[in-house]
Amino acid sequence: MHRPTDEVATPATDPATPVTDPAADPATRPATTASSWPPPSSSATPPPPPPSPDTPRPGPPERRGPRQTLVTALVAAVVSALVTAGVAVPLTRATLASDTGPPVTEPATPASTTPAGTDPTSVSEVAANTSPSVGFVQVANGGQGGSGSAVIVDPEGYLLTNAHVVDGADRIEVTLPDGNRHDATLVGSDPTSDVAVLQIDATGLPAVDIADDAEVGQTVIAIGSPFGLEGSVTSGIVSGIDRTLSSGQGQAALLGMIQTDAAINPGNSGGALVDTEGRLVGINTAIFSASGTSSGVGFAIPAATAMATAEQLIDTGTVTYAQLGISGGDLTPAIAAAYGLDVEDGALVAGVLPGTGAADAGLAEGDVVVALDGESVRSMSQLSALVRSRAPGDEVMLTVDRAGDERDVQVTLTSS
């Protein structure tokens, strides 16, 4: 996967940690939009479960019945798929959306693209109201330079951008839509989430409001500086949510990403994806493309995720991720039906790490996590993103299906 950066398409990196642990950085897993292993046929004999450490289960020991045997075999099959198939189809042509060309030093004429079926009046109004909150970022790194975008999130001079936009920069300059240029200080950068926070010496800035979440099908508007063209506006819809992007080459995976068909190109990285009320839905980050330019498949970091990361960077300069303490994979309807399970999707637990909140709460191999704090969980990557949005020490309520018996389990998250 590339992410369009200013100089070369070099994605941010992070030390590899266990892929499927919901708070750990899944750097070793290929990007996923769907599960890739086929469900076993009814005549196939499931592989035996791999050796695993003993895991505490609440209550007295239970006799292993036919269903438990199937669950154990299912866990083994999932573990095998994790090792041999990587769980999902890798996005080998995802590209970071920052400009690789020379920095643009003069303001460019804003451009706008509105797809058929979208009310151009509403897009125009949103663009007029929100564009003042999106700046143009230029970076210098030795004798090279690059550019991207940034979003004002605090009137006191804090802006969000992508970590890959400012990676290795010796000097960062932000040009605001009013034409004023400011030298920016890098407050902190987190390659794991690809979020960075900049600060400029200015107050009373027009900060964006933050949206709660994104919904598939909703209209969204991308604002940024593709190819150095400041104030460019495109629009489209949210095409998907809960996407996971990874090159499978040791780079940090990005979890819970928003997919959109609004045109995103090199230089849009760090820019705003907003809803029809002008609220920030996401930070534009990457595209899936064979050419390196928009092909209608772009990705943004959810605003809630970016803001949670930014708060830690502003407070401490670093980011500490919460950890649930499990490994596993996605339970799909096809696999659930093949083994006669009562739930159709969720995060299937294949192992529990000793000394973590999951172990203390009694989670066990074969459990299926179907909700966290009342929010439905459809995949391991979604669970990972939900846990990442929490802080170490937070208590969360997991809804867990164990052999057809659904129960709520309170878990205290630990540090990764």
Q: Please give the average per-residue pLDDT across 178-207, as a whole number.
A: 96
SS3 48: coil
Best-predicted range by mean pLDDT (54-58, 246-250, 327-331)? 327-331
Q: Count other C-beta atoms under 10 Å from residue 122's C-beta.
A: 15
Quick one: pLDDT at residue 253? Answer: 76
Confidence of residue 121 (pLDDT cuts 50, 70, 90): low
User: In CATH terms, is domain 66-85+322-415 a member of 2.30.42.10?
Assistant: yes
Fold: same for 1-17+90-317 and 66-85+322-415: no
pTM value?
0.65
* Beta-bridge mates of residue 375: 372
Six-digit token string for 15: 């030390």
Please confirm, yes or no, whether 182 is among the known catalytic residues. no
Quick one: pLDDT at residue 119? Answer: 56
d(CA 256, CA 323): 16
Quick one: pLDDT at residue 247? Answer: 52
* Catalytic residue, candidates 131, 232, 269, 289: 269
pLDDT in tens, 86-115: 222 233 334 566 554 443 333 333 444 544
Q: Give the distance from CA 384 to its chain's centroid.
A: 9
**Quick one: what percent of the chain has pLDDT higher than 70?**
69
pLDDT in tens, 359-389: 999 999 989 999 999 999 988 888 988 898 7
* Catalytic residue, candidates 194, 261, 367, 401: 194
Least confident of 61-70, 170-179, 308-317: 61-70
Where exactly are the structural domains of the chain? 1-17+90-317, 66-85+322-415
Please confirm, yes or no, whether 2 is among the known catalytic residues. no
Q: Please give the average per-residue pLDDT across 407-413, as a whole number.
A: 96
* Catalytic residue, candidates 164, 235, 261, 367: 164
Please confirm, yes or no, whether 194 is among the known catalytic residues. yes
155 pLDDT more than 60: yes
Phi, psi angles (nearest 5°) of residue 385: -65, -40
CATH fold, domain 1-17+90-317, is Thrombin, subunit H (2.40.10)
Least confident of 31-45, 137-151, 303-317, 362-376: 31-45
Long-range CB contact pairs, 184-187, < 8 A, 24+: 184/137, 184/150, 184/159, 187/158, 187/313, 187/314, 187/317
d(CA 408, CA 278): 37
Quick one: pLDDT at residue 251? Answer: 57
d(CA 135, CA 177): 6
